[in-house]
A and B are shown apart, each in its own frame.
Chain A
């Protein structure tokens, strides 16, 4: 599904990713953990195509195709989805209209006609029920005045609507209380299949109790310094990140 080879990326001439190698196969859940400033969010943004970052070396392949030159929207059309750590507030655009536009633009890119209105409504109803989202919420301006939990739930709602091949969840657990965390995690688990893949970026192990990863990677100073299975996450939770820093530094 996703293959990243020797990826170096910088922002304003400051190197942040310094040789990332990662392979994610269909049906897998990968967790990327690491201390603050290790490059986790940068990796997510670079995969999603944020233009502020300069890819200096290496390549990102999605189903064998190099996506380096693709714009963010083209990557989205190919099935990449990024759940934002800080979803952006867009006053004046309702959640429903935003989703309609996103879905129909994606369909347009694939040469399909707009989704019929009744089908769209049905889908919106289904997916919002799954995430226990109040219908009134859908006519509100996107993310404007939403609580932290509402914002994250709305991200997963968008994921459910867009049905991506590769979903990257960037710190989706931050700002969530335990109930919201459970709802969000259940949503993600329901969307998981053998044909798609999920990358969970998180600082803490907590979310991984609900979304159980097949692999855990530790990012430090722009590189993946350790990979393992879900037990690695527990170890990190117990011991913190210092031992890894020492191990790498040695």
Chain B
């Protein structure tokens, strides 16, 4: 049964916040309320109702305004299931490797495009995990235990129902990467999506996950996603995010990573467009000898906007964090980097590195970059650096004097600039794919893989 959205007879268009708050009842009527998650959802909608959407008055949103994104009359429940043929979207998959796949179309799970498993590991749907008793323990222990109570995460929590559920029990090296893909088709004139993902990786296990958001339509799409990742003792989690390239699509990504001792977690974020992309990426190091890696490449133009808001919280001693974000901004594109590193008093011998390097290709493009280090321990190594510059003209002439045309020379320099982020991508097929996306974006064929 399709959910009815509330209608307001007087105002033609309801405020999105009001619409969401009043939709909550209809949503709750649909899902099983006899679970602990019910209370979490109710609590969350209250928080959202109190706080509302963030505005530029909030320090963390000073350079990113949601106004233009919130003005659309979004459908907040996916209405119909949409069939897409694999051949039409094949290019958005990393299809040259064997992988598990969880595919959503307009927020609905697409079983014919997916390949899930329960064979030793659970790669399946959040909706099943929330409703089936066998997952209850994991849900109780982990669901909403990493996400913060900020308004957007709370909004997602209130409507949390569908997304990826991945549980890797201990001592498992998952050979095949897991792809989680979200497509929007334009079946609705404007669509809001709120995927909710939970990833629990137990002791000594290793998993690689690729997440992609892809709009196939010019209709506005707003995704407010929450992903909670738990890397338990000595687990290794590598997460790759490939973000929208459609001018009409916006994405607010809230990702929370909790790490236990000796675990390694990395998140690579590749942002190639979209009207507005906001990445709230939070790492919490809850043990010793943890390694956290946060890297990103942003290449945007037009009036696109990408905002990286990162947090690494060093709680225990002897841990490391590595942040490296590269941005290339053309036309009137704007970027934000706000990187917070907290080092607790107890977190001695912390090594925390942060770099944010940017190239502006036009006078109208801009970037606001702000490192924010709060260090309470006295025996630590923390460094940060940010640069903003143009493409090196002397390098351009050097390349052109060797017969490399301007466009290709530019592209090669941009590749070179992003190379150390691409270099740490462990799956060669992903690296190749991203190289290809970048080459397409720059309109060049370099004829080699970097």
Contacts and interface: CB of A to CB of B under 8 A. Distances in A.
B397 A72 contact: yes
A87 B450 contact: no
Interface stretch (A94-102, A125-133, A177-185, A210-218): A94-102
Interface string A231-244: 00000000000000
A51 interface: yes
Nearest to B449: A97
Interface in A146-168: 158, 162
B416 A82 contact: no
B404 interface: yes
Chain A contact-residue range equals 20 to 34
A97 B450 contact: yes
Nearest to A101: B404
A114 B448 CA distance: 11
B398 A84 contact: yes
Nearest to A48: B401
A110 B274 CA distance: 38
A95 to B, nearest CB: 12
B419 A102 contact: no
A106 B448 CA distance: 16
A90 B398 CA distance: 10
Given A51-B397, A97-B448, A101-B408, A92 B420 contact: yes
A76 B400 contact: yes
A76 B401 contact: yes
B3 interface: no
A100 B417 contact: no
Contacts of B15: none
B436 to A, nearest CB: 16
A101 B449 CA distance: 11
Contact of A100 (B399, B409, B447): B447
A49 B401 CA distance: 8
A104 B417 CA distance: 22
Q: Quick one: which of A49, A89, A101, A141 has the most chain B CB within 10 A?
A: A101
Given A97-B450, A100-B447, A101-B448, A162 B403 contact: yes
Contacts of A84: 398, 401
B419 A73 contact: no
A188 B255 CA distance: 58
A204 B21 CA distance: 81
A76 B403 contact: yes
Q: Which 7 A-B pairs have the closest CB atoms?
A: A92-B416, A92-B419, A76-B403, A72-B400, A106-B403, A102-B402, A88-B398
Interface of B: 392, 394-395, 397-406, 408-409, 412-413, 415-420, 446-448, 450
27 contacts: A48-B401, A49-B401, A71-B400, A72-B401, A73-B402, A73-B404, A84-B401, A88-B398, A90-B399, A91-B416, A92-B450, A93-B412, A93-B416, A93-B419, A97-B448, A98-B399, A100-B448, A101-B408, A101-B412, A101-B446, A102-B399, A102-B402, A102-B403, A105-B405, A106-B403, A109-B403, A162-B403
Given A73-B405, A82-B401, A101-B404, 9 more contacts: A73-B400, A88-B392, A91-B419, A100-B448, A101-B408, A101-B447, A105-B404, A106-B403, A109-B403
